[in-house]
Amino acid sequence: MFSSAVSSSLLILHKPLARVIRFPIPKLPLSPNPRPLSSLSPAASALTPNAVGAGGRAGALSPAPITEDLQKIDVNPPKGTRDFPPEDMRLRNWLFYHFREVSRLFGFEEVDFPVLESEALYIRKAGEEIRDQLYCFEDRGNRRVALRPELTPSLARLVIQKGKSLSLPLKWFAVGQCWRYERMTRGRRREHYQWNMDIIGVPEVTAEAELISSIVTFFKRLGITASDVGFKVSSRKVLQEVLRHYSIPEALFGKVCIIIDKIEKIPVDDIKSELKSAGVSEEAIEQLLQVLSIKSLTKLEEILGDAGEAVADLKQLFSLAEKFGYSEWIQFDASIVRGLAYYTGIVFEGFDRGGKLRAICGGGRYDRLLSTFGGDDIPASGFGFGDAVIVELLKEKGLLPELSLQVENIVCALDPGLQGAAATVATILRGKGQSVDLVLENKPLKWVFKRAARINANRLILVGDSEWQRGMVGVKILSSGEQHEIKLDELE
Amino acid sequence: MFSSAVSSSLLILHKPLARVIRFPIPKLPLSPNPRPLSSLSPAASALTPNAVGAGGRAGALSPAPITEDLQKIDVNPPKGTRDFPPEDMRLRNWLFYHFREVSRLFGFEEVDFPVLESEALYIRKAGEEIRDQLYCFEDRGNRRVALRPELTPSLARLVIQKGKSLSLPLKWFAVGQCWRYERMTRGRRREHYQWNMDIIGVPEVTAEAELISSIVTFFKRLGITASDVGFKVSSRKVLQEVLRHYSIPEALFGKVCIIIDKIEKIPVDDIKSELKSAGVSEEAIEQLLQVLSIKSLTKLEEILGDAGEAVADLKQLFSLAEKFGYSEWIQFDASIVRGLAYYTGIVFEGFDRGGKLRAICGGGRYDRLLSTFGGDDIPASGFGFGDAVIVELLKEKGLLPELSLQVENIVCALDPGLQGAAATVATILRGKGQSVDLVLENKPLKWVFKRAARINANRLILVGDSEWQRGMVGVKILSSGEQHEIKLDELE
């Protein structure tokens, strides 16, 4: 469509590109003058900052939309996923900063794994919700793969792979995106980020106590108190001791836990019939449900005796909690079993005392996970802490921080011809570690002040002709309005 | 398998759980004594740190592997993907830190998008390599989705979605994982992380000059110089002016660029025949190839004349480069077109002057991308900078940093009964912002020193009985061997 405008007066060049042809650019109605070298032309500066769609280069030589058919795409992210525009990214970064900072305080090392894993890593037989919601598919090489629903299986895989080269205990943390394919009811998303901390190689309950301490430290940093949030703690060994008493096969254990985990979500009669079809006798079911209602360690001890590991572990954990200084955050609750099949000992769950929100985080001991992958077992415990419920809680409590963009300097040329000089000033300041928003077009001062306010700049550096000739720039402190000239080499 | 060991002497409880049964725990051969409340037993401390698989809790009540059939999983990450064990994660974090720090210096705001996008976002007709390698599949809701191969289309989508609420110009950066499904030749991976910086709303070449300045700043921070790396710069408008001269339809432009981008990878005769089948005349092909061989702006000007945008843009860019202070990093090279269909103006590519590595980064102006998605166009430019080639370059130049774990303190109880006291000490130190590796088991001092060395601890804090009774702990400065007692409330 533009080719008809091209002049046909071609000049053959002599050398070295003998056959290359010279194309004088035609003067077209919309662009009557040759474009000046400096493109800070009045036409460009007339662009208002919010004029979305008005900003295309005005010259007639602008190409048509490249090569594609026009298609109207869906401008929303895929169902259940999120964009992170700057304001949301600031919140995410703030949250992740605290995840990382707490992990650092506890001496943990960061790790990560592929977001895409082999599906086999998640195929467990206990009928967990997490498996039903696996975001899995076949790749172009016909491999069954899945977007990871959790981080622990990848961690176990890596630990087996590294084998004896690892110095135990490992204290590892990760902040990674996890996926589930869920019917989009209840406004739940299909992806979330999860902070995990894991201790590999410590059989003692000290590990679980340390992990809960790190979550408490995290809550405190955010302004969340023990009256906002608590931890319900139990042990899978409680159920185990009951099941063993009724001679229920060990192989059923994971499945029973998964059924019981649904106790607050589905009617108790459904729980009973699920347990029955899993092969648990009616007597055992009644017993289980009774034990699950216990909220006191003393009562648990009355029932299970004091010689078993369940009670001993829990007693030790509560004793350590006192020494760590978070007794008021935790309580025994036998109904907590957690929805993952691989837990073997202590399990815990952070909950909103207001009762409005789902579990905030959860974890426990999983001493037998590695052998389910064919590795040698190593005692392990860990937790997962998602980025969704915590944000709801912070909103609820008025604890969401106000995070705004902050750029230290805004640098602006007062004359289109000084754009290069402004670039020099920006480079000097950046070299000294100062952040600079360089105004890239010729804009009226009013616009520059508006932008300075939007980016919360401390200083406005103005590059004007007469100052520049004297090696100076104008500096305006935006909080006070104070204004002075500074020599370029004294700019800090 | 353990149920036969359970005693049958059951006691019916009276209240309140009338039907709950008391289970005295049997004394089994392997665990003859009731487990002590403190589990820092000698048996546990006998674990050597490297004894992978030897760490299972020794008591006979340990359950069998949970509920799964034993399966040997592949312990490697899926083909073409990576795990990030701590040492690799430290390098990734170091690299990302510099990406983010440079972006901050330039006043850019961080954003992110879903790693899983609608496939439609990437279906362009120019036959780009990136489309052929799309990691796409059908999800469980029969939607065509893809793991993002690049970040720019998502950015364009978000910009259209936000529309007039945005204050232009936007200066956005992102560090995100991108995917391609490639035959695994040449040891290339299927995922990499990419740093993107984009300026939306600036039609001037100042934007491209600023972007290249930020990459130069990044290189310099890492110790990379202009003799290691350079930028080849051209403009899509060079080709456009040639094509227009030959009345080649605008719609072919993207396709021609994609073909030409392969010029260093496939024989020139193949390029010619591809161009021919795309509908470019033989004369135009010869002309194109001639122009592409130009490495001097003066020569380009001789051929294209001085009135066109291609020459004017490039001249302005080189003039700005001088003011920004990176002239020695850039050179004109007409053969650079970049392999993405959407570029419309300046294009650039960071290359290894040693000639061993693929392009390190690349970018350019894409003023017409938004309209291909049905939005109104906004002038835009940006670059992508992957995490793979840069690491190879750093290796090559001996510039890879030595990054090691560093935990400020290691805290250790000298007696199993003092594990709680050690927890108290750790909590105090962490409350003061000090990182602490708390030894969670009863370990010999030799082991503790070894661990202290591995984590590069500055101080070893020993919690011993006699000191603890006086409210003191032992502190050993590990670099000097200096040792003293400090009051608990004076510990900092």
Note the helical H segments in B11-162: 42-45, 86-105, 129-132, 152-162
Q: Which residues of A touch B183 (CB under 8 A)?
A: none
| Cβ-defined contact of A319 to B34 (cutoff 8 Å) | no
Give the phi and the psi of residue B178 in degrees, each rounded to 5. -125, 155
Residue B321 CB partners (closer than 8 Å, separation 6+):
B209, B212, B327, B329, B330
Q: What is the pLDDT of residues B329-338, one digit of tens each?
A: 999 999 998 9
Average pLDDT of the segment spanning B430-456: 97
Closest approach of A82 to chain B, Cα-based (Å) = 6
Judged against a pLDDT cut of 90, whether residue A415 lies above it is answered with yes
Give kind and range of the element (H or E) at residue B462: strand B459-463
| Cβ-defined contact of B67 to A344 (cutoff 8 Å) | no
Q: Which residues of A touch B139 (CB under 8 A)?
A: 135, 137, 181
Q: Which residues of B touch A368 (CB under 8 A)?
A: 63-66
Cβ A222 vs Cβ A394: under 8 Å: yes
Judged against a pLDDT cut of 90, whether residue A412 lies above it is answered with yes
| Cβ-defined contact of A17 to B124 (cutoff 8 Å) | no
Cβ A308 vs Cβ A237: under 8 Å: yes
Closest approach of B310 to chain A, Cα-based (Å) = 10
Q: Which residues of B touch A204 (CB under 8 A)?
A: 39-40, 44, 440-441
Judged against a pLDDT cut of 90, whether residue B16 lies above it is answered with no
Tokens 């001890």, located at residue: A301
Q: Which chain A residue shows the shortest CA-CA distance from B160?
A: A75
Q: How far is CA A23 from CA A7, A34, A119, B473, in A?
A: 8, 14, 59, 84
Give the phi and the psi of residue B169 in degrees, each rounded to 5. -75, 150
Closest approach of B465 to chain A, Cα-based (Å) = 16
* Predicted TM-score of the model (pTM): 0.86
Q: What is the pLDDT of residues B245-267, one digit of tens each?
A: 888 888 888 889 889 988 888 99
Question: Percent of chain A, pLDDT > 70?
Answer: 85
| Cβ-defined contact of A251 to B64 (cutoff 8 Å) | yes
| Cβ-defined contact of A154 to B34 (cutoff 8 Å) | no
| Cβ-defined contact of A324 to B65 (cutoff 8 Å) | no
What's the ipTM? 0.86
Tokens 């720039």, located at residue: A473
Q: Which chain B residue shows the shortest CA-CA distance from A242?
A: B23
Q: Look up residue B395 and give its two tokens.
A: 């290796």
Q: Which residues of A touch B210 (CB under 8 A)?
A: 423, 438, 440
Q: Look up residue B151 and give its two tokens.
A: 């970040």
Q: Assess whether the previous peptide bond of B16 is cis (omega < 30° from 0).
A: yes
Cβ A260 vs Cβ A239: under 8 Å: yes
Whole-angstrom distance, CA of residue B492 vs CA of residue B490: 6
Q: Average pLDDT of chain B? A: 86
Per-residue HEC secondary structure of chain A comes to CCHHHCCCCCEECCCCCCCCEECCCCCECCECCCCCCCCCCHHHHCCCCCCCCCCCCCCCCCCCCCCCCCCCCCCCCCCCCCCECHHHHHHHHHHHHHHHHHHHHCCCEECECCCEEEHHHHCCCCCCHHHHCCEEEECCCCCEEEECCCCHHHHHHHHHHHHHHCCCCEEEEEEEEEECCCCCHHHCCCEEEEEEEEEECCCCCHHHHHHHHHHHHHHHHHCCCCCCEEEEEEEHHHHHHHHHHCCCCHHHHHHHHHHHHHHHCCCHHHHHHHHHHCCCCHHHHHHHHHHHCCCCHHHHHHHHCCCCHHHHHHHHHHHHHHHHCCHHHEEECCCCCCCCCCCCCEEEEEEECCCCCCCCEEEEECCCHHHHCCCCCCCEEEEEEECCHHHHHHHHCCCCCCCCCCCCEEEEECCHHHHHHHHHHHHHHHHCCCCEEECCCCCCHHHHHHHHHHCCCCEEEEECHHHHHCCEEEEEECCCCCEEEEEHHHCC
Q: Look up residue A25 and give its two tokens.
A: 């650019």
Whole-angstrom distance, CA of residue A141 vs CA of residue B351: 33
Closest approach of B297 to chain A, Cα-based (Å) = 14
Q: Is B487 helix (H, G, I), strand (E, B) or coil?
A: strand
Nearest CA among B61, B66, B9 for reference residue A237 = B61
| Cβ-defined contact of B21 to A287 (cutoff 8 Å) | yes
Q: Which residues of B touch A320 (CB under 8 A)?
A: 419-420, 423
Closest approach of A440 to chain B, Cα-based (Å) = 6
Determine the pLDDT at residue A31: 34
Cβ B382 vs Cβ B108: under 8 Å: no
Tokens 């929805």, located at residue: A339
Cβ B95 vs Cβ B218: under 8 Å: no
β pairing state of A144-147 and A116-118: antiparallel
Closest approach of B64 to chain A, Cα-based (Å) = 7
Could you say which DSSP state residue B110 is in? Answer: E
Determine the pLDDT at residue A291: 92
Determine the pLDDT at residue B135: 92
Question: Percent of chain B, pLDDT > 70?
Answer: 85
Q: How long a stretch of residues is chain A?
A: 492
Judged against a pLDDT cut of 60, whether residue A26 lies above it is answered with no
Q: Give the HSE-up count for residue B342: Cα atoms under 13 Å, Cβ half-sphere.
A: 27
**How large is the angle between the packed helices A236-245 and A253-261, nearest 10 degrees?**
120
Give kind and range of the element (H or E) at residue B199: strand B191-200
Identify the residue among A20, A237, A403 best suited for mutation to test binding to B, counting B beta carbons within 10 A and taking the highest: A20
Confidence of residue B83 (pLDDT cuts 50, 70, 90): very high
Q: Which chain A residue shows the shortest CA-CA distance from B90?
A: A110
Give the phi and the psi of residue A91 in degrees, each rounded to 5. -65, -45
Whole-angstrom distance, CA of residue A258 vs CA of residue A255: 5
Residue B261, Cβ density class (10 Å: 0-12 exposed, 13-18 middle, ≥19 buried) = buried
Determine the pLDDT at residue B344: 94
| Cβ-defined contact of A312 to B39 (cutoff 8 Å) | yes
Residue B308 amino acid letter? G
Judged against a pLDDT cut of 70, whether residue B68 lies above it is answered with no
Q: Which chain B residue shows the shortest CA-CA distance from A309?
A: B35
Closest approach of B48 to chain A, Cα-based (Å) = 8
Nearest CA among B386, B157, B179, B105 for reference residue A84 = B157
Give the phi and the psi of residue B423 in degrees, each rounded to 5. -65, -40
Confidence of residue A253 (pLDDT cuts 50, 70, 90): confident
Closest approach of A482 to chain B, Cα-based (Å) = 23
| Residues paired with A196 in a beta bridge | A174, A384
Determine the pLDDT at residue B265: 86
Q: Which of A124, A247, A251 sits opposite B3 (nearest CB)?
A: A247
Question: Percent of chain A, pLDDT > 90?
Answer: 71
Whole-angstrom distance, CA of residue B147 vs CA of residue B167: 30
CA A426 to chain centre: 32
Q: What is the pLDDT of residues A360-403, one digit of tens each?
A: 999 999 999 999 999 999 999 999 999 999 999 999 999 999 99
Q: What is the pLDDT of residues B427-436, one digit of tens each?
A: 999 999 999 9
| Cβ-defined contact of A373 to B73 (cutoff 8 Å) | yes
Q: What is the pLDDT of residues B280-331, one digit of tens each?
A: 999 999 989 999 999 999 999 998 888 889 999 999 999 999 999 999 999 9
Confidence of residue B356 (pLDDT cuts 50, 70, 90): very high
Closest approach of B96 to chain A, Cα-based (Å) = 13
Q: Assess whether the previous peptide bond of B36 is cis (omega < 30° from 0).
A: no
Judged against a pLDDT cut of 70, whether residue A63 lies above it is answered with no
| Cβ-defined contact of A17 to B72 (cutoff 8 Å) | no
Q: Which of A21, A120, A436 sits opposite B287 (nearest CB)?
A: A21
| Cβ-defined contact of B161 to A1 (cutoff 8 Å) | no
| Cβ-defined contact of B107 to A435 (cutoff 8 Å) | yes
Judged against a pLDDT cut of 60, whether residue A35 lies above it is answered with no
Nearest CA among B3, B1, B4, B6 for reference residue B26 = B6
Judged against a pLDDT cut of 80, whether residue A201 lies above it is answered with yes
Compute chain A's Rg from CA coordinates. 32
Q: How far is CA A477 from CA A90, A269, A483, A484, B70, in A?
A: 26, 70, 6, 9, 68
Determine the pLDDT at residue B70: 52
Nearest CA among B458, B307, B116 for reference residue A191 = B116
Judged against a pLDDT cut of 60, whether residue B19 lies above it is answered with no
Say which range, A51-65, A189-203, A298-312, B344-358, has the weakest mean pLDDT. Answer: A51-65
Closest approach of B142 to chain A, Cα-based (Å) = 11
| Cβ-defined contact of A158 to B210 (cutoff 8 Å) | no
Q: Which chain B residue shows the shortest CA-CA distance from A192?
A: B114
Residue A105, number of CB atoms within 10 A of its CB: 23
| Cβ-defined contact of A50 to B164 (cutoff 8 Å) | yes
Identify the residue among A27, A31, A68, A123 best suited for mutation to test binding to B, counting B beta carbons within 10 A and taking the highest: A68
Cβ B288 vs Cβ A19: under 8 Å: no
Cβ B333 vs Cβ B232: under 8 Å: yes
Q: What is the pLDDT of residues B116-161, one digit of tens each?
A: 999 999 988 777 887 788 999 988 888 899 999 999 999 999 999 9
Q: Name the residue with higher pLDDT: A403 or B184.
A: A403
Could you say which DSSP state residue B489 is in? Answer: G
Q: What is the pLDDT of residues A453-473, one digit of tens each?
A: 999 999 999 999 999 999 999
Q: Look up residue A96 and give its two tokens.
A: 């992740």
Nearest CA among A205, A239, A253, A203 for reference residue A367 = A203
Identify the residue among A52, A98, A162, A415 best suited for mutation to test binding to B, counting B beta carbons within 10 A and taking the highest: A52
Give the phi and the psi of residue B242 in degrees, each rounded to 5. -65, -50
- Chains A and B form CB pairs within 8 A to the count of 597
Identify the residue among B2, B9, B12, B66 best suited for mutation to test binding to A, counting A beta carbons within 10 A and taking the highest: B66
Determine the pLDDT at residue B59: 31
Closest approach of B1 to chain A, Cα-based (Å) = 7
| Cβ-defined contact of A204 to B374 (cutoff 8 Å) | no
